[in-house]
Structure 1
Amino acid sequence: MAYPADVHDVVDCVNFARSSRVPLALRSGGHGYAGYSTGPGLVLDTSSLNSATVGGGQALFGAGVKGLGPTTHWPLRGCRSAGAPPSVWPGLWNADPATPRTVTCAFEQLSDSGAPGVPTVTGTFIGTPSALEPVLDRLAAAVGRAGTDRVIVPCDYTRAACEADRRGGGTLGPRVAFAAKSHIVREPLSPAAAAVMAAALEQLHHLTGVGGAGGLLIDALGGAVNDRLPGATAFPHRAAVGVVQYHSYWHQFTDPTHVDRRLDWLRDVHAAMQPHLGTGGYTNGMDLELTDWQVAYHGDNYPRMQRVKAACDPEDVFTFPQVVRR
């Protein structure tokens, strides 16, 4: 395990792995869904490279900054899937507070040992609390059900971009085992698709007494995501309206049979939603069982990513099962 103090240490580690032919795994954001951030050779942990600088309408985050999902850019710095698992390479964020954005939010419903969870909507709004209140009122009216609680926290840009602050009050919980699948939502869900999704959540109630948890996480896109064309960066799903992730969690004491039941639920809900949502997956939540991941993650950008891979990593120093192939 190597803990680089700066970018020069990273270069030395990569050169060592290349010259000695030692398998190299990269670790950074702490949420590698598929477990590609560990391996039998050298594990390069970049968590100490957690600097953040803001200026000129942009913010540059180091590879170790946690709680961020940066946009992948075409230069080598951002060609993460060509050689590294997600959340390893630094990325650029739009930090212009004057840019108008539609409100985006995340919806999460989890069940704890089979008990229904309380749906939670979280989001980031660029503006004043008084300007946000009517937006939330319209959201509640669209849902058709009054909310039980509402919390607005004014903060600076850095905190607004921090996932830990937005979802856990600034704290990170204990590690748990989990698996996930995903779909890209290209248009608002049809009534039929919504019914299938609701039925999948109802199935979780039958897992009462089964250790762990499961649920859906829906991240809204739009806003700055739509500002770029699909081929402008490695992320192709610029016109999508959201990303849905299906999650299952368990802990070290969960019975293996219960783990299997939670994995079966994942496979079933993904298969049930496939006819409604089609091919498309979230590259930052890689799915070990996805067979068409090249198209699902990268779409029409995959051939270009292959050319970048061939030019920047001809020796395949950076490799894992779902790496971009030359």
Structure 2
Amino acid sequence: MPASIGRPSHPPPGHHGWCGLTIGRMNQTRTTSTDWSGLARGLDGTLLRPGEEGYGVARLPYNSRFEVHPRAVVFAQGVEDVRETLAFARRHGLPLAARSGSHSYGGWSTSPGITLDLGRMNAVATGAGTATIGGGALLIDAYDALLAENLSIPAGSCPTVGIAGLTLGGGLGSVCRAYGLTCDRLVSAVVVTADGRIRQCSAEREPELFWALRGGGGGNFGVVTGFTFRTHPTTEVTRASLQWSWRDAARVVDAWQRWAPTRPDEEWSCLGLSAEPTGGCTVAVSLYVLGDGPDVADTLVAAVGIEPVEQRSEVISYREMIMSMTGSQGTVSQLHLTGRTPDAVLDRPPFVAASNFFPVHLPAAGIRALVAAVARRAADGGPGYVLLDSLRGAVGRVAPDATAFVHRDALFSAQYHCMFDPGTPAAALDRAARWLRGLRRAMRPWAGDSAYVNYADPYLDDYARAYYGANLPRLVAVKAAYDPDGFFDFPQAVPPRRAGASPR
């Protein structure tokens, strides 16, 4: 583990250790300015190198905790640009990371070699019950295009998350109990694999690769340049928010965890425990119901048995729900990272995070440990957040091995999160990371070592088992079939074979 948790370092280019096995090691050749110029001439898109105008913003990941200076950033205009860039990287032994939203929690969608940005490949087209979305589309832009036709797909809430990373890791969201994970709505995908082949993937064509793309994590099997999803119609939404006194936090957690997973599919809720920098703590629940559900919040209050100090409920449009979940009242154009659109307002905060899935209810001891951890974080100056998202419903009706997303039996997921202002000293992130690790240890008796690959945690002891569980051997086999040399490599990549296995 690195000495400084504030800014974890990337491994040496092309190197990745997993269970004692070293894979993906490439023999780098010297690349000259002539080489780079040749690549640029062969692209319909744009290539930026250090010192060129625009590079300073182009290299930035979402999480400003990480400081990476790629040798080049390629903005692909289409699938042929992707093929050209992959071929160049392989020819010169350069590591490469594909990027759409740049939200990798571990900073791994930015490479010290070539960062391949798909942001220009962001078209959205609807058909008969489907939507085809470019691999570089951000959620805010995909939502905006679909909502114009009163359609949507189940997806996340952060506007600048890429559709690619979200889908490839599974895709939790506020309507997943009704419509499933994002990956559950995937009909087909277009993938450029390490050998440069363009593969059309579906349940009938390349079925093993298609299986892996639904929950096996981004950056593992190829560059996905397009997705086709089954859409669902939009409806009005009942939104409710409730807040209780902190002294009732344990009672609220216990009641909510038993109430939420049993509710009708059209209901979804998130319980938040917050440690504020002011030293205070809050416990609150956000609730969304597809359709008119004015009395749903009252059923939660009855389950808790204590009146909240604040309760609100209103009926809003589906678009209002999407925009409100972004935490901003800005325009679609504004809801981008600064430098990406002319009027973008969203910054790149440093943060640390961890996660769990809970297949069982927390007993009293577990609830006490959770609430006490939040209180300690507040006493330490915060910030710190525990977000429990209700699951099962449609998510749980899919078998754990039907897709690569294995956590189908979870009653709820947990994200432990500490977000800071840009420029926060690394020591503050160090303290926050220690708190997160302590939380995971405290929750291990009930959550095991589970973790969500889309909330990548650089400090997991056995990340592959945490993310993929019993689906890991099948993912390893898919990796061996489609990327046997481990070209798509990063510190938590799926390896092309397990330790001790014979090379194919």
**TM-score in same-fold range (> 0.5):** yes
The gaps in structure 2 that reach 5 residues or longer are: 1-72, 140-155, 157-165, 171-182, 187-207, 235-263, 336-345, 497-504
Contact 2:386 2:417 in 1 (8 A): yes
**Residues 83 and 152 (structure 1 numbering): CA distance in 2 closer, same or farther, change over 3 Å?**
closer
Among 140, 149, 152, the residue aligned to 2:301: 140
Count of residues paired in the alignment: 315
**Residues 79 and 224 (structure 1 numbering): CA distance in 2 closer, same or farther, change over 3 Å?**
closer
User: Does residue 206 of the first structure (1) align with residue 379 of the second (2)?
Assistant: yes
Higher alpha-carbon deviation: 164-173 or 299-308? 164-173
Contact 1:46 1:64 in 2 (8 A): yes
**Cα shift at 1:260:** 2.3
State the superposition RMSD in angstroms.
3.0
Contact 2:220 2:494 in 1 (8 A): no
| Partner in structure 2 of residue 95 of structure 1 | 231
User: Does residue 184 of the first structure (1) align with residue 357 of the second (2)?
Assistant: yes
The gaps in structure 1 that reach 5 residues or longer are: none
**Cα shift at 1:58:** 4.3
The CA distance in 2 between the partners of 1:186 and 1:312, in whole Å, is: 32
1:108 match: secondary structure: strand
| Matched AA of 1:180 | A
**Cα shift at 1:79:** 6.0
| Matched AA of 1:75 | L
The CA distance in 2 between the partners of 1:105 and 1:91, in whole Å, is: 28
Contact 2:215 2:404 in 1 (8 A): no
**Residues 226 and 276 (structure 1 numbering): CA distance in 2 closer, same or farther, change over 3 Å?**
closer
| Matched AA of 1:204 | R
**Residues 4 and 80 (structure 1 numbering): CA distance in 2 closer, same or farther, change over 3 Å?**
farther
Q: Deviations over 1:23-75 (max 9, x none)?
A: 10122223211111112100011223333344444444332333443334753
Contact 2:106 2:456 in 1 (8 A): yes
**Residues 230 and 79 (structure 1 numbering): CA distance in 2 closer, same or farther, change over 3 Å?**
closer
User: Does residue 323 of the first structure (1) align with residue 323 of the second (2)?
Assistant: no
| Partner in structure 1 of residue 94 of structure 2 | 22
**Residues 268 and 112 (structure 1 numbering): CA distance in 2 closer, same or farther, change over 3 Å?**
same
| Matched AA of 2:294 | E
TM-score (normalizing by structure 2)? 0.56
**Residues 291 and 15 (structure 1 numbering): CA distance in 2 closer, same or farther, change over 3 Å?**
same
| Matched AA of 2:354 | K
Higher alpha-carbon deviation: 71-80 or 276-285? 71-80
Higher alpha-carbon deviation: 144-153 or 305-314? 144-153
Counterpart mapping for 1:48-87 below 5 A: 48-67=120-139, 68=156, 69-70=166-167, 71=170, 72=183, 75-76=209-210, 78=213, 81=216, 84=219
Contact 2:275 2:384 in 1 (8 A): yes
2:87 match: secondary structure: helix
| Matched AA of 2:377 | L
**Cα shift at 1:290:** 0.4
User: Does residue 36 of the first structure (1) align with residue 108 of the second (2)?
Assistant: yes
Q: Which has the higher contact order (CA 8 A, sep 6+)?
A: 1
The CA distance in 2 between the partners of 1:148 and 1:36, in whole Å, is: 40
Contact 1:83 1:319 in 2 (8 A): no
Counterpart mapping for 1:1-326 below 5 A: 1-67=73-139, 68=156, 69-70=166-167, 71=170, 72=183, 75-76=209-210, 78=213, 81=216, 84=219, 89=224, 95-97=231-233, 101-116=265-280, 118-122=282-286, 124-127=288-291, 131-143=292-304, 144-146=306-308, 147-155=310-318, 162=322, 165-169=324-328, 171=330, 172=335, 173-208=346-381, 213-326=383-496
The CA distance in 1 between the partners of 2:277 and 2:209, in whole Å, is: 44
Contact 1:29 1:64 in 2 (8 A): yes
**Cα shift at 1:259:** 2.7
**Cα shift at 1:285:** 0.6
Contact 2:352 2:429 in 1 (8 A): no
The CA distance in 1 between the partners of 2:83 and 2:287, in whole Å, is: 37
**Residues 85 and 196 (structure 1 numbering): CA distance in 2 closer, same or farther, change over 3 Å?**
farther
**Cα shift at 1:254:** 2.6
**Cα shift at 1:117:** 5.4
**Cα shift at 1:94:** 5.2
**Residues 168 and 269 (structure 1 numbering): CA distance in 2 closer, same or farther, change over 3 Å?**
same
**Residues 175 and 109 (structure 1 numbering): CA distance in 2 closer, same or farther, change over 3 Å?**
farther
Which protein has the larger Cα radius of gyration, Structure 1 or Structure 2? 2
**Cα shift at 1:206:** 0.9
The CA distance in 1 between the partners of 2:284 and 2:84, in whole Å, is: 44
**Residues 26 and 273 (structure 1 numbering): CA distance in 2 closer, same or farther, change over 3 Å?**
same
| Partner in structure 1 of residue 146 of structure 2 | none
**Cα shift at 1:151:** 4.2
**Residues 115 and 54 (structure 1 numbering): CA distance in 2 closer, same or farther, change over 3 Å?**
farther
Contact 1:97 1:126 in 2 (8 A): no
| Matched AA of 1:148 | Q
**Cα shift at 1:200:** 0.8
